[in-house]
Amino acid sequence: MYRNTWLTGIVCLTLLSALPGAAPPARPLGAAEMERLIEQLGDRSYRLREQAERRLLAEGLPALPYLKKAVGHREAEVRKRALRLVPGLELAALVSPKRISMTVKNQPLSAILAEISKQTGYKIENQNVAGMVPPGVMIKGGGPAAPAAKGEEKFSYTFINATFWEVMDRVCRDSGLTLQQGYGDDIVRLYHSGGGYAAFGGNDGAFRYAATNIQLYRNVDLSNINPRATTPPTRSESLTFNFTIFSEPRLPFLGMGEPRIESAYDSERNSLVPRSVNPDGDMMFPGGGQWGGLGGMRFGRRYYGGGYKQSSLGVSLQLQRISEKAATLKTLKGVIPVQLLVEQKPVVIADKILSAKGKKTPAGDIEFSIEDVKKMPNNQYQIKFSATNKANNGDYNWMNTIYQRIELQDAKGNKYQNWGSNWHGGGGNNVSMTLTYSSQGLPAGVGPPERFVFMHWVTRQHDIHFEFRDVPLP
């Protein structure tokens, strides 16, 4: 499922960003200037070629369409340099955050969330307020307030080109709401937090991170004390920093690799990075496990998390406390490699599902066979099928996530809700299961089921950078 297809582009962007002159431009370039720089990529002068490349890189996303066009340029040097820049800029465009601009005055929370939903396309549910304004309600600063639920608090804001997470953090802090993800869908759910909020965290493009806790564990082994020995009982200690990363709904996680600590210091200027290093250069914490990993396993660029589509992931970092006098974790910086689901390409397994019994359909390397279709009471439908992965190489993620990748739709594309799955068995490359769907809770007018659709997942790798400051130590 996971390939390093885009790693070269990411490396290119990293290297090019370090070149002199790659700072953001003072003003955006016009079309004529962009075209001139594209031609300059093939100049006889090496200095001018380098200058044009740095300027286009500094221009960023606005240069991307011109560089894509330049991939087919008549000059080989122009093509080469354009190809070097395009993958990194495409990734930058992909992980750029949704941005919001709005002015609201004395508006109810439901209307504010509705406007955020309108501008981003994300479905936002406030689980504590009934009668929310439906998504799509337009807010105009100074205009009449949208209808509020009984007792709903009102707020005033001005956001200019703010990121999605910047806006949500501010609104949640003011309204006493907190974000709770982990349902495997693309809905942003908000719950009452009791007035508290995640005080330590930050944002990195389309991603947010928030501290959960710091755990200090001390242990004295009393199970094997030798009365003749002069050494004291074995003592051990571990310090674990836990936090959660969140993605915008359009970029769910499929897995996470080994977090890397770049620096960690306490308020006494002691480094908290574990000092023990094994022969391979991997940091180890006391006890022999890999720091920052999951289950003490070594990752490299491999990804773990079951391959499930999820909007949040828990991260644990092992630190080494040096001084008990230190009151705070002064700074902690690092990187988390993640696997992102960036596109879902639908493949129709059956276009007339109610009469599709016995139908076999390939979807890439996976072949689906519809074994039975039943209409159940309360407008529920059960679909029994088997799937065989002809190219499976021992990776069970395709099987574990298959229920997330199949949709039952009516003729207009409205999706039925998955009400459960029943596994009948399978091996490394095949599985048999029954999925149950229902139209309950869906908008009125949903028609009978028509299409049974499998979503082919397109993935990309990305590094999320995090930084925490002045976090209290236990």
Distance (Å, whole) CA 267 – CA 330: 5
Q: Is there a single domain that holds both residue 176 and residue 229?
A: no
The answer on 368 and 318 residing in a single domain is no
Amino acid occupying residue 79: R
Which of 175, 197, 219 is a domain's end point? 197
Q: Do residues 151 and 134 both lie within one domain?
A: yes
How confident is residue 298, by pLDDT bands cut at 50, 70 and 90?
Answer: very low
Q: What is the CA radius of gyration of the chain?
A: 27
For residue 299, is it within any domain? yes
Provide the pLDDT for residue 402. Answer: 87
pLDDT (0 to 100) of residue 140: 38
Q: Residue 308: how many CB atoms within 10 A of its CB?
A: 16
pLDDT-based confidence at residue 60 (cuts at 50, 70, 90): confident
Picking from 164, 197, 230, the residue at the C-terminal end of a domain is 197
Asked if residue 414 belongs to a domain, the reply is: yes
For residue 415, what are the β-bridge partners?
Answer: 409
Average pLDDT over residues 239-246: 95
Count CA atoms closer than 13 A to 112's CA, side-chain side: 25
Angle formed at CA 333 by CA 466 and CA 122, multiple of 5 degrees: 5
* 324-343 confidence digits (pLDDT tens): 899 999 999 999 999 999 98
Q: Clarify whether residues 85 and 107 are in a common domain.
A: no
Read off the tokens for 46. 């090496």
- How buried is 63 (Cβ within 10 angstroms: 0-12 exposed, 13-18 middle, 19+ buried)? buried
**CATH code assigned at 397:** 2.60.40
Among residues 118, 124, 205, which one has the least CA distance to residue 171?
124
Query: Is 59 buried (19+), middle (13-18) or exposed (0-12) by CB count in 10 A?
Result: buried
Q: Which pLDDT band holds residue 134 (cuts at 50, 70, 90)?
A: very low
CATH code, 105: 3.55.50.30
Clarify whether residues 313 and 357 are in a common domain: no
Same domain, 453 and 467: no
Report pLDDT for 305. Answer: 63
CATH number, domain of 56, equals: 1.25.10
User: pLDDT at residue 234 above 90?
Assistant: no
Do 167 and 233 reside in the same domain of the chain? no
- For 456, other C-beta atoms within 10 Å of its C-beta total 14
Q: Are residues 219 and 328 in the same domain?
A: yes
- Which tokens hold the place of 175? 């309204």
Q: What does the pLDDT read at residue 260?
A: 92
Which residues constitute the domain of residue 49? 7-94
pLDDT at 201: 93
What's the pLDDT at 436?
95
**DSSP run (H or E) holding 367:** strand 366-376
Q: Check whether residue 441 and residue 322 sit in a common domain.
A: no
Separation CA 158–CA 150 (nearest Å): 25
Q: Which of 139, 171, 197 is the last residue of a domain?
A: 197
Q: Are residues 332 and 467 in the same domain?
A: yes
pLDDT digits (tens, 9 = 90+) for 378-411: 889 999 999 999 886 666 778 888 888 999 999 9
Q: Among 197, 102, 199, which Cα is nearest to 158's?
A: 102
Q: How many domains does the chain have?
A: 4
Same domain, 122 and 89: no
Tell me phi and psi for residue 31, to 5 degrees.
-60, -40
Can you tell me the distance from the alpha carbon of 26 to that of 59, in angstroms, rounded to the nearest whole number? 9
Asked if residue 115 is part of any domain, the answer here is yes
Of 379, 380, 387, the C-alpha closest to 454 is 387
The angle formed by the CA atoms of residues 362, 367 and 372, to the nearest 5 degrees, is 110
123-126 vs 187-192, strand pairing mode:
parallel
Q: How far is 321 from 329, CA to CA, in rounded Å? A: 10
- What pLDDT score does 142 carry? 35
In a domain, residue 202? The reply is no
Q: What integer is the mean pLDDT of 174-198?
A: 79
Supply the DSSP symbol for 130: S
pLDDT band at 7 (very low <50, low <70, confident <90, very high): very low
The mean per-residue pLDDT over the stretch 357-382 comes to 92
In a domain, 220, yes or no: yes
For 466, other C-beta atoms within 10 Å of its C-beta total 25
User: Is the same domain home to 244 and 393?
Assistant: no
Residues 386 and 390: their CA atoms lie apart, in Å, by 13
Indicate whether 204 belongs to any domain: no
203 domain-assigned:
no
Say how far apart CA 324 and CA 322 lie, in whole Å: 7
Residue 308 in domain: yes
